[in-house]
Amino acid sequence: MTRILGIESSCDETAAAVVVNGHDVQSNVVASQVELHRKFGGVVPEIASRAHIECIHNVVRMALEEAKCEPADIDAIAYTCRPGLVGSLLIGATAAKTLGWAWKKPLIAVNHVEAHAVSGSIGVDPAPWPAVALVVSGGHTSLYLVTDFDSVKLLGSTIDDAAGEAFDKVATMLGLGYPGGPVIDRVSASGDPKAHAFPRTLLDSESLDFSFSGLKTAVRYKIHGTGQTTGGLEQLSEKDIADIAASFQQAVVDVLVKKTMRAVAQTGATTVVLGGGVAANRSLRQSLEAECSDRKLAFYAPKMAYCVDNAAMIASLGFHMHAKGQTVAFDGDVCAR
């Protein structure tokens, strides 16, 4: 039995989790900073790092308490080393190194995006590889071919906005607040996804890259008009806003599903896994599941708690890395990219 303490602090969630053997999540504590950043309409890096410092100690203590374990029961500490906000990453990494040094535990440096990519495998034994992984978060929209926990090959990614970023920006345009993903998901339920034919940018026909800036501009024009003459948010009814939100969401989902199926065709994979904050989107989960079922592909989406940033996915991937002896020295760096 191997028990890993995971620590995640790459953006605006301070998180710690205790996971046994990569699957048995004994605790998963997340302190969200959303309220601190809401009035700025996005994450303010300096505020994020300060908030991480203030709560990381308590978050780790709560994770140990909930898992009913002592430092002596922990076999190794996994922390997010990249990518993310550098000041935020430093707090989690420093906490992990300090505890590792004091408790004499080995350290595992985990890539946050790779942890999202394999988060759908938590609780799936044997592991579902090989698989095409779609990672959709606030900072990333990428397709990977995962052949093992330490073999995650990039197939394509966004050339401009990430999917979650597009959700957040469109929600701001629609006056729906921050963070945009959950609120667009909710509001879309009462809107018509066919009300507006927003562009589905697929780039050239074989490409596995994404682009959401044209879609974002189309939404802006729909709200404000293309000239000086029409529009404005104040002229839209609740139903208009719900229709725009639902049509925008449908355009994002259509592109994500189509590109994922293109990756399946190009790689010959028979399994699809989903990960990242936008993986919490109900329409995306349902559409991918339906498409996979039509094509007789296996489909794994993470539990809701493992979609947005969390440390269970860091500890879980950390377990598989630890099993392969992939530990790091105490002077390992963090990296924004």
CB of 245 to Zn ion, least distance (A): 23
Q: Which is nearer to ligand KG4, 3 or 37 (CB)?
A: 37
Q: Which is nearer to ligand KG4, 158 or 281 (CB)?
A: 281
Q: Which is nearer to ligand KG4, 193 or 276 (CB)?
A: 276
Cα(272)–Cα(266) distance, rounded to whole angstroms? 13
CB of 119 to ligand KG4, least distance (A): 9
Q: Is 80 in the site for Zn ion (CB under 5 A)?
A: no
Q: Which two tokens stand for residue 94?
A: 């420093």
**Which residues here bind ligand KG4, judged by CB under 6 A?**
11, 137-139, 164, 167-168, 179-182, 185, 276-278, 280-281, 308-309
Q: Which is nearer to Zn ion, 74 or 146 (CB)?
A: 146
CB of 44 to ligand KG4, least distance (A): 15
Read off the amino acid at residue 240. D
Q: Is 13 in the site for Zn ion (CB under 5 A)?
A: no
Q: Are 91 and 53 in contact (CB under 8 A)?
A: yes
Cα angle, residue 309 at apex, residues 278 and 257 outer, rounded to 5°:
20
Cα(280)–Cα(233) distance, rounded to whole angstroms? 27
CB of 176 to ligand KG4, least distance (A): 11
Q: Is 141 in the site for Zn ion (CB under 5 A)?
A: no
Q: Which is nearer to Zn ion, 137 or 260 (CB)?
A: 137
- The runs of H, that is alpha helices, within the chain are 34-38, 45-66, 86-103, 112-118, 163-173, 180-188, 213-224, 238-267, 282-294, 312-323
Q: What share of the chain is helix, strand, coil (3-state, %, to 5)?
A: 45, 20, 35
Q: Which is nearer to ligand KG4, 100 or 300 (CB)?
A: 300
CB of 321 to ligand KG4, least distance (A): 19
Cα angle, residue 11 at apex, residues 8 and 15 outer, rounded to 5°:
30
Q: Which is nearer to ligand KG4, 189 or 323 (CB)?
A: 189
The correct pick among 244, 275, 309, 319 for binding Zn ion (CB under 5 A) is: 309
Q: Is 12 in the site for Zn ion (CB under 5 A)?
A: no
List the end-to-end C-alpha distance of the chain, in Å, as a whole number.
Answer: 33
Q: Which does 92 bind (CB under 5 to 8 A by kind): Zn ion, ligand KG4, none?
A: none
CB of 309 to ligand KG4, least distance (A): 4
**Of residues 81-140, which lie at the interface with Zn ion (CB under 5 A)?**
137
Sign of torsion over alpha carbons 78, 304, 207, 291: positive
CB of 202 to ligand KG4, least distance (A): 20
Q: CA nearest 28: which of 13, 38, 42, 40? A: 13
CB of 212 to ligand KG4, least distance (A): 12
Q: Which does 185 bind (CB under 5 to 8 A by kind): ligand KG4, Zn ion, none?
A: ligand KG4
Q: Which is nearer to ligand KG4, 99 or 215 (CB)?
A: 215
Q: Which does 128 bind (CB under 5 to 8 A by kind): Zn ion, ligand KG4, none?
A: none
Cα(316)–Cα(175) distance, rounded to whole angstroms? 38
Neighbours of 231 (CB within 10 A): 16
DSSP string, 51-113: HHHHHHHHHHHHHHHHTT--GGG--EEEEEEESS-HHHHHHHHHHHHHHHHHHT--EEEEEHH
Binding site for Zn ion (CB under 5 A): 137, 309
